[in-house]
Amino acid sequence: MDTLDLLFRRIVLAANAAGALERPLTVGEILDTFAPYASARRDGPIATQDDYLQAVMELVAGERALVFADDLMQDDLKAELASPNPDVNVIRTYANTKVRLSTEGVHGVLAGDTTIDLRPPTPLGGRAVTAESRAPAGAKPAAKPAAKPTAKPAMPPAAKPAPTTPITLRPAPAASAPRAGAPIVAKVPPPPPDDAAPEGALVDAYAPATAAATEDPGCPYCSSPIPQGRAIRFCPACGQNLSVRRCAGCSAEIESGWKFCVTCGRSAR
């Protein structure tokens, strides 16, 4: 079995385990759910992600009649694959396009060996496996060597306190009573300035002057953060082309702000 056969086998077995063989699949489900790059590498020699995307393109384009899909999409993928330097990221522009698996091919896979590793791929932020995590349950961790005692430096003798002079407290002067008939003037504190904070309000000295800007949603394919302040065409994490969208109906290029295709009128959402 070569790369295409192994990739189709994984799609069939994963879709069968999810109960999705009776309905059409989308290209996005094949790429992200049923046969992602990290899982497909378990079945055969797929050196790079570009090799994986090219194999998915060949499969969706109708190679060996294992997958049936829209004729316009398959013609577009075949033309791209036949170019001298094909752009394998074109397959992601058809993420919402539905395809059907060959019934004969599905029966052939289910009639053979159906043993396959369907565990989801390990995320990039997963916990690293160490020697302690591989130890069997109940095993006592190895004792760490005792640290050698270090000699404490000798402390200098404490200096004698200097003699203190006794302090004599004088009684506070008595407040003088107002004279009879003298007017009583009340001292009123000046009003606070207009920009002063109201009484009881808490002011955070470390709060920023303006509200924080809304966080960038990141790459639409892998959700990785996109660098700001520069022209970005490809995602630095997954390498997907962020500046090109294609219509799922006629394969025409769609600007980022368009809601409908100007060629066939199909919704771009």
Q: Average per-residue pLDDT in the chain?
A: 75
End-to-end Cα spacing for the chain: 38
Of 61-75, 123-137, 144-158, 180-194, give the range with the top mean pLDDT: 61-75
% of the chain residues with pLDDT over 70: 62
- Dihedral of alpha carbons 77, 81, 82, 87, sign: positive
Contact (CB, 8 A) for 117 and 10: no
- The CA dihedral of 81, 82, 83, 86, to the nearest 10 degrees, is 10
Provide the residue ranges of all domains of the chain, joining segments of one domain with +.
3-111
pLDDT of 80-132, one tens digit each? Answer: 999 999 999 999 999 999 999 999 999 999 999 999 888 887 654 444 444 44
pLDDT of residue 124: 46
Query: Within its chain, how far is the Cα of 20 from the centroid?
Result: 27
pLDDT of 138-181, one tens digit each? Answer: 555 555 555 555 555 556 566 566 655 555 556 555 555 545 55
Contact (CB, 8 A) for 241 and 232: no
Residue 207 confidence class, pLDDT cut points 50, 70, 90 = very low
- Tell which residue, 118, 11, 27, has the closest CA to residue 77: 27
User: Distance between CA 76 and CA 249 in Å, rounded?
Assistant: 11
**67 or 191: which leads in pLDDT:** 67
Of 24-38, 169-183, 232-246, give the range with the top mean pLDDT: 24-38
Structure tokens at 107: 């029966």
